[in-house]
Structure 1
Amino acid sequence: MPLAQLISATQLQQRLHQPDLLILDCRFALDDPAYGQRSFVQGHIPGAQYADLERDLSGPIHKGVTGRHPLPDATQLLQRLREWGLNDDSEVVLYDDGPGAFAARAWWLLAWLGKRDGVYLLDGGLKAWREAAGELSQDPATSGAGDFTGSPDATLLVDAEQLQQRLHDPQLTLLDARALPRFRGEVEPLDPVAGHIPGARCAVFTDNLNGDGCFLPAEQLRQRFAAQLEQRPASDLVAYCGSGVTACHNLFALCLAGYPLAPLYAGSWSEWITDPARPVASGD
């Protein structure tokens, strides 16, 4: 079964009441951290649980050490997933408002913990659900405790020290998911230092989508990432972004395109710049 899978709004409507289906609403707004929970209460896909980026899908920030969205403690995340009702054989559908970045973060975390079968992103997110006349509910989800037995996979991660040692490796492809003006260092709305990690290539995560906010066909995604890889091996690719969230969108799209799941530099730019000894680049 492919690691990255999409489900359409129509397909989800047909499966909505199947047993052992876990739906996670991952809506969030970086400029309004209460937005996701507030929106969930106002209306969500029936049966969905709410997964908050900062409370559930990230760990505590340590100023001057971590980035803005450190990985959550694996044991705590496993417990939360079980509270939501996740079993080893559950099917999982993840969604957010549409671009898919927060849903992709949840997808990556599930893959990191070993849940790699039957996990779907709702293609087009809640926007597509509404356009397909999908109903919304204000009822809180109810579920029994799940028995998911996962453990973190260290091979899916690269830390800052490991990455710094590899920066001059000609085989390395380092993909930055942020928008081009941030990559170039022309603007920086979130972090105190602008620019990018030297040698990185800008691969804006929204370019994985078409004009309707759905993922491009697999062949188009493969062409997109083949152009970034050139002749370098996909096994030497590393993904990062501002804080380890939108990079997961690129990792999902890479898997949709048929590439293996590449490592994530989870601390990303917001962690990289906490040490002034780490090099910084600007421009293209």
Structure 2
Amino acid sequence: MTTQSSYQTLISAQQLQALIDAGQPLLLLDLSFDLANTEAGAQAYASGHLPGAHYMHLDRDLSAPKTGRNGRHPLPSREAFADRMASLGLHARTQVICYDAQGGMYGARAWWMLHWLGHAAVAVLDGGLQAWRDAGGALSSELPTPPHPSAFVPGTPLVDSISADALQRRLGRLRLIDARAAERFRGEVEPLDTKAGHIPGASNRAFAGNLNPQGRFKPAAELRAAFEPMIAPYAAADVVHQCGSGVTACHNLLAMAHAGLGLGTLYAGSWSEWSSDPTRPIATG
């Protein structure tokens, strides 16, 4: 949080309610999703969502078409995503709130992508849908009124990304952090991609370690204590985050930003893109 009217990492349910009560213009985005059932998020949204929230689908709104070599959730072009946000009425000073029902893993993807468009005033609802309900927040099954499209255009990116080729050239000269579960990182199991293992030189920080048992982010000081030993002595721009398909890596990026450790760099193609090329090296263990 920078000021009462601009949240840029996390926002609590109570803080969000205060903004609503104050009449601040907001754009609420429901990013709920399930990798095993890709329509489950939309169905849950239809059953009940934060009043006024718009639903955004990971595959259709936050990803480009797959080619088989560009990963499971390739980034769309900045222009295409900016057009989608303009269709939702995004303006340069709009406070955006992203949430889901999965611990923030999909909300964090939208958070990163909006920063990628140069939009700073975007935060993830800490604890998501459950935190809103726990705070007494109401849910609605009504679709929001279609917004008036805006003239939003992308600005200078506030976050960095790296391609597979650039990452391969720099292996050993940057800090690479993999957000997948430890057993996937070690190559013991691989439920989603064709090959098991990890990118050589990567360290493992499963994104679930950012959350407490209630599904909310741990305090900034606790997150900082966990990440600092992993990233020292690298500058934030030389810390590259990846996961299976560029989604949960954004959760680690959000956690680092909330901890005051900078925004880092995303390898969006992540393991699903890296492992699709038989010429790229793979490590296990």
Which category of TM-score, normalised to the shorter sequence, fits these structures?
over 0.9
Work out whether residues 177 and 242 of structure 2, in 8 Å CA contact, stay in contact via their aligned partners in 1: yes
Percent of residue pairs bearing the same amino acid type: 49
Partner residue, 1:136: 139
How far apart, CA to CA, are the structure 1 residues paired with 2:19 and 2:233?
42
How far apart, CA to CA, are the structure 2 residues paired with 1:88 and 1:232?
32
How far apart, CA to CA, are the structure 2 residues paired with 1:103 and 1:155?
16
- Name the amino acid aligned to 2:53: A
Unaligned runs of 5+ in 1: none
**CA offset at residue 152 of structure 1?**
6.2
How far apart, CA to CA, are the structure 2 residues paired with 1:120 and 1:190?
29
Partner residue, 1:106: 110
SS in 2 for 1:16: helix
Work out whether residues 74 and 269 of structure 2, in 8 Å CA contact, stay in contact via their aligned partners in 1: yes
How far apart, CA to CA, are the structure 1 residues paired with 2:161 and 2:242?
11
Work out whether residues 115 and 159 of structure 2, in 8 Å CA contact, stay in contact via their aligned partners in 1: no
Alignment of 1:1-284 (within 5 A): 4-16=8-20, 18-63=23-68, 65-116=69-120, 118-142=121-145, 143-151=147-155, 153=157, 156-169=160-173, 172-283=174-285
How far apart, CA to CA, are the structure 2 residues paired with 1:34 and 1:95?
17
TM-score (norm 1): 0.94
Work out whether residues 194 and 276 of structure 2, in 8 Å CA contact, stay in contact via their aligned partners in 1: no
**CA offset at residue 154 of structure 1?**
9.4
Work out whether residues 46 and 141 of structure 2, in 8 Å CA contact, stay in contact via their aligned partners in 1: yes
SS in 1 for 2:200: coil
- Name the amino acid aligned to 1:41: A
Q: C-alpha root-mean-square deviation of aligned residues, in Å? A: 1.6
- Name the amino acid aligned to 1:121: V
- Name the amino acid aligned to 1:239: H
**CA offset at residue 254 of structure 1?**
0.7
